A and B are shown apart, each in its own frame.
Chain A
Amino acid sequence: MNDKASGTRRSTDNWAASVRTLRVGAVAEGALNANVQGHRTSGALQGFGQLWQKTFRTRLPGANLAPADVIRVWKGEFATFWPRGLGMPRMFAPLTGIAPGEVGVINIDMPGGVVLSTGVLVMYADDESFTFMTPEGHMFAGWITFSAGQEDTDVLLQIQVLIRAYDPLTELFQLLGGRRVEERFWERTLQAVAARFGPPDAVIQTEVSRVDGRRQWSRVGNIFRSSNFRPRVRWFR
């Protein structure tokens, strides 16, 4: 998959401005905004666990669409493409849209009204791709890029994550099967995006590569900032 930098609007405006801490703007009603406001961003270098690059691809054969058309819909309906259910994250995209510098809120509903809350910064966005960056305290530290590109008559859709577990607990969860759960999550997301434009059973190609097998023990203290340990209770449903 190419990221088509040469085919898109090349502008410094595609990047979020450098900010010391995140500020959450207006998000959809029902979002529980915690563990995001006032937090710093956290890239792939600031996490604890092993560094993984995972790439999920599918194609829309003979699609009568431009990659930019797909990305426009993907941005506009982003939250609807995520799998639903208890324990699944719910995205509350910024009301102003997915644009550089905007912050979205993520809630994970757990049993008993407990909610894990975190978010993402829209770090980069152009006509054919957009990238989220996690804040400190998010279960993962790194970037996730959503993109579309043209290959002959097909439109290729891609999700690429470059992440580490933020803290030792998340790393342990990943070792105990969380990694596959996460991969399945992104596969289902990409399938839902593909289904928006074509048949519902798109084949997803997944490539997993361990970029760095070491754990960053200097970051073991991340556990004290992890949103895993700062749950909220939703009293009114």
Chain B
Amino acid sequence: MTQSTTVMGVRRIDDRTSIVDIRGDITAQSEGPLMEAYNQASGERTRVVILNFGGLDYMNSGGIGLLVTLLVRANRLKQRLTACGLNEHYRQIFELTRLDEAIAIFVAEDQALSAARS
């Protein structure tokens, strides 16, 4: 089996906001690292989790499926999932798959943070 090449980092900005830094690939193999990072990012009072895709190398359709699963989980916990750092290609993939209708996309992390605080 192919090992996941996904590396996740988690930053708790404050009680309400966390950032998950995604580096490497997002494929179906990334489920473990992504869900573990989300668990770390998600506290009792967390309201917004920002996925920073600045370090994303590659995402396939399995990765999109994972993001849907993550979104369902976030909705269940009444948390908002947002994204930043996507390059033009993956912004278009979010449009194609209509993930952009449920996950707000920001160009830069500071914009995502400002929106989270507003």
Chain A contacts to B: CB under 8 angstroms: 1-7, 10, 12, 14-19, 41-46, 51, 53, 123-124, 126, 129, 131, 133, 143, 145, 149, 151, 160, 162, 211-212
Q: Which of B25, B58, B92, B96 has the most CB of A within 10 A?
A: B96
Q: Which residue of B lies closest to A11 (CB)?
A: B58
Instruction: Check B92–A45 contact: CB distance below 8 A.
Output: no
Q: Are A129 and B99 in contact (CB under 8 A)?
A: no
B residues contacting the other copy or chain, number (CB 8 A): 29
In this complex, what residue of A is CB-closest to B66?
A: A162
* Contact indicator A124/B60 (Cβ below 8 Å): yes
- Indicate whether A18 sits within 8 Å of B29 (C-beta atoms), given known contacts A124-B60, A211-B72: no
Question: Considering the chains assembled together, what is the distance between the CA atoms of A19 and B93 in angstroms?
Answer: 10
| Interface of B toward A, CB cutoff 8 Å | 1-2, 5, 25, 27-29, 57-58, 60-62, 64-65, 68-69, 71-72, 76, 89, 92-93, 95-99, 101-102
B71 touches A45 (CB 8 A): yes
In the complex, chain B residues whose CB is within 8 Å of the CB of A211: 68-69, 72
Cβ-defined partner of B2 (8 Å) among A6, A41, A53, A162: A6
User: Which of B25, B57, B61, B69 is the one whose CB lies under 8 Å from A123?
Assistant: B61
